[in-house]
Chain A
Amino acid sequence: EAQVTQNPRYLITVTGKKLTVTCSQNMNHEYMSWYRQDPGLGLRQIYYSMNVEVTDKGDVPEGYKVSRKEKRNFPLILESPSPNQTSLYFCASSLSGTGPNIQYFGAGTRLSVL
């Protein structure tokens, strides 16, 4: 089954404790992206990757890191989480980041930073 898998689905952590949210897709998609969603707001793009070893900042990259060492994986790293990073996070992938870019989303990771 074609899918985007995020782990963990739920995470509670404390300020300053490094964490990684994994994202994996099995569709051989070139493009992957991370978003955060806060109450009443749409999706805000954190980082995206056009292909292996190619990443770029979205609209809200501060406090986050990403890497794209393999085509299928695109982990989101919070080196020193803060309470304002409490949010619902979505990973998405698409065949290509150029032209029409229909994105397929993972189930989401709900993060609470205390």
Chain B
Amino acid sequence: QKEVEQNSGPLSVPEGAIASLNCTYSDRVSQSFFWYRQYSGKSPELIMSIYSNGDKEDGRFTAQLNKASQYVSLLIRDSQPSDSATYLCAVNDNTNAGKSTFGDGTTLTVKP
């Protein structure tokens, strides 16, 4: 089983809809969770980070973390064509400092 799994894509939503991206992780000691966005041919850039259970909102983006279920998600409200990209979930284990594990990514397409 992969350490970090993301829902297989591609995911397509109409403009204005809510896009839901999911990620599960296998290591219970994981402490820090990140969502990166990567446009085609570009480098990843941070969208959200979350460290404690619950929701964290930043503009149109909401990250949700449930450590009991080992689940982290990213909701994008009012999706725009410019949100079309691959979204990478990353998990850090603070007991193994420095090691960073990424999921395979979910490609999102927002159709006008």
Q: Are A105 and B45 in contact (CB under 8 A)?
A: yes
Which chain A positions have C-beta within 8 A of B102?
35, 42-45
B42 CB to nearest A CB, Å: 8
Bound Cα distance from A50 to B104, whole angstroms: 25
A98 contacts the other chain (Cβ, under 8 Å)? yes
A97 CB to nearest B CB, Å: 4
A108 contacts the other chain (Cβ, under 8 Å)? yes
B9 CB to nearest A CB, Å: 10
Bound Cα distance from A35 to B102, whole angstroms: 10
Count class of interface residues, chain B:
20 to 34
Bound Cα distance from A35 to B88, whole angstroms: 13
B interface SS class: strand
What is the number of contacts between chain A and chain B, taking CB atoms within 8 Å? Answer: 67
Which chain B positions have C-beta within 8 A of A107?
42-43
A103 contacts the other chain (Cβ, under 8 Å)? yes
Which chain B positions have C-beta within 8 A of A102?
34, 46, 49
Q: Are A97 and B44 in contact (CB under 8 A)?
A: no
Which chain A positions have C-beta within 8 A of B43?
90, 105-108
Q: Which of B12-20, B70-78, B90-98 contacts the other chain?
A: B90-98
Interface centre among B6, B42, B99 (most CB of A within 10 A): B99
Q: Which 3 A-B pairs have the closest CB atoms?
A: A42-B102, A105-B43, A97-B98
The chain A residues found within 8 Å of chain B, CB to CB, are 31, 33, 35, 40-45, 48-50, 56, 58-59, 90, 97-108
Q: List 29 A-B contacts (CB under 8 A).
A: A31-B98, A33-B98, A41-B105, A42-B6, A42-B88, A42-B104, A42-B105, A43-B102, A45-B101, A48-B98, A48-B99, A48-B100, A49-B98, A50-B97, A58-B99, A59-B101, A98-B94, A99-B94, A100-B32, A100-B51, A101-B32, A101-B98, A102-B46, A103-B90, A105-B43, A105-B44, A107-B42, A107-B43, A108-B43
